[in-house]
Amino acid sequence: MFGAKRLGTVDNDGKLRVVVELGGVQLFIEEVPPGTHAAPEPPYLGLEHIGLLVSGIDALVAELKGKGAEFVVEPRSPRPGTRIAFIRGPENVRIELVDRSAA
């Protein structure tokens, strides 16, 4: 949904690792071992969310909703000049969109 490019997959000691590039950064997403407990509802200790700096958040939100993204926090302004929204990502990790150019 964010234009990440899948670079490939790797077998990492029997676990699948998917390698993607997002904004010039390579990310490794590794398979969770069987029997692992599901993440609790946020907030919690651990990787609770990641943030992505964006511009034009309202248009982006509309585009992502069209692709099926589930928003757990609709766009809002916590302070002047900033708008944020949160998407439910894999394993209940939230993805925050931050637009600091919002007027």
Enumerate the β-bridge partners of residue 85: 97
Q: Tell me the pLDDT band of 19, cut-offs 50, 70 and 90.
A: confident
Task: Determine which of 18-22, 46-50, 62-66, 93-97 has the lowest per-residue pLDDT on average.
Answer: 46-50
Structure tokens given for 47:
């990787």
Give the model confidence (pLDDT) of 45-71 as tens digits: 777 678 888 899 999 999 999 999 999
- Who's near 66: CB < 8 A, 6+ residues apart? none
Q: Per-residue pLDDT for 77 more than 70?
A: yes
* Distance in angstroms (rounded) separating the CA atoms of residues 28 and 51: 16
All domains of the chain in start order, with CATH: 1-33 (no CATH), 47-103 (3.10.180.10)
Most confident of 17-21, 46-50, 70-74: 70-74
Do residues 93 and 50 lie in contact, with contact meaning Cβ atoms separated by under 8 Å?
yes
